[in-house]
Amino acid sequence: MAVTFDAVVEIRGEGVTTLTTAAFTVGSGSNRAGAVGLSFSANNPTAITTDIGGVSGILVPGSDSLDRGSNNRTMIFALVAPPSGSQTATASWTTAMDCILGAVTVSGNDQVTPMNGGVAQGVSSNSANPALTVPSVSGDLTLGVLSENATPSAPTQTERWSDAFNIFGRGSTGAGAGSDTHKWTAASSLWAISGANFRAPDSILPGGGPADDRFRFRPSVFWSGTSTLGTKRSPWPDDALDFGMQDTIDDSRSRLL
């Protein structure tokens, strides 16, 4: 089974702390997953939460471009099993700033680890042509998210959203092909870029390793009644386990429960 693009929605906001998209239709395909890509106009958004159709997203490890001092920051949040039908996507954070939010849903996706291969880059001085290589295997679907000060060209992968005001925010997807490069051609400027990989069921990145494993965890640990994120339905099935991370799970349990 290969990951198949389903739907996309996008919104932009200026001087805001929360954005909620227009209604969009999530398909009824099996093994659905979703991602929320954020392009910020400042370095320091904190306490970020996202959801699609009420299902909360979790930051894909490695996908945060971090504070590079460039007033561009990108990140990708992933979730499984967004409800089908008419839905909206939301992101909230502290400190009002500009943001472009793009949300993508897919079907045919792994239901335990919806995305892996998180990568990100950012520049602290002007640089041309933002590009990022996202690891994947055949059957996966990669996602790239860009925030830039200059007008980027069409991407090397399939463009899913494109918006501009104080920042230029873009999103693109590419069929898994080992290593998808998400690249935009642009004049030299400041930018940040994030990427992550929608996993086909049980797909493993070449070499496995941390990029493949960091996002696996036992959901009940993170979605306990004491969690600040626990007001929304867990995006992971209750029986989702990854024994490869048992040590980490136990550590987390001892701290959180």
Partner 1 sequence: MLLTNGRKVPTTIELLARDTYRAGDLSLDAIPIARDVTEITISIDRVALSRVTLRMAWSIELSLDAGRTWLPWGAAETTGGDIINPRTGLSYLESNFTVTLPEPENPDRQLRGQVSISEDADISVTVTTRP
Which residue ranges make up the site for partner 1 (CB under 8 A)? 10-23, 41-43, 71, 86, 88, 92, 95-98, 163, 165-166
Which amino acid appears at position 257 of this protein?
Answer: L
Q: Given the complex with partner 1, which of 36 and 141 has the nearer CB atom?
A: 36
Nearer to partner 1, 98 or 140 (CB): 98
- Cα separation, 122 vs 195, whole angstroms: 12
Query: What residue ranges in 81-200 does DSSP mark as E strands?
Result: 85-87, 89-107, 115-122, 131-135, 141-148, 158-164, 168-175, 179-183, 191-198
Rounded CA-CA distance 99/71 in Å is 11
Which of 104, 71, 64 lies closest to 194 in space, CA to CA?
Answer: 64
8 Å CB contact between 203 and 216: no
Say how far apart CA 47 and CA 186 lie, in whole Å: 31
Q: Which residues contact 98 (CB under 8 A, 6 or more apart)?
A: 12, 13, 14, 15, 16, 40, 41, 42, 165, 166, 167
Minimum distance of partner 1 from residue 150's CB (angstroms): 13
Nearer CB in complex with partner 1: 22/177: 22
Q: Give whichever of 18 and 158 is closer to partner 1, judged by the CB atom.
A: 18
As measured in angstroms, the least distance from the Cβ of 22 to partner 1 is 4
Q: Minimum distance from CB of 104 to partner 1 (Å)?
A: 16
Q: How far is the CB of 244 from partner 1 (least distance, A)?
A: 39
How many angstroms separate the Cα of 106 from the Cα of each of 6, 26, 63, 180? 5, 9, 19, 17
Q: How far is the CB of 86 from partner 1 (least distance, A)?
A: 7
Length of the chain: 257
Give me the residue label for tokens 């996908």. 63
Name the residue nearer to partner 1 (CB basis): 66 or 256.
Answer: 66
Q: How many CB atoms lie within 10 A of CB 230?
A: 13
Nearest to partner 1 of 1, 42 (CB atom): 42
Question: CB of residue 143 vs partner 1: minimum separation in angstroms?
Answer: 20
Nearest to partner 1 of 44, 129 (CB atom)? 44
Least Å distance, CB 171 to partner 1, is 14
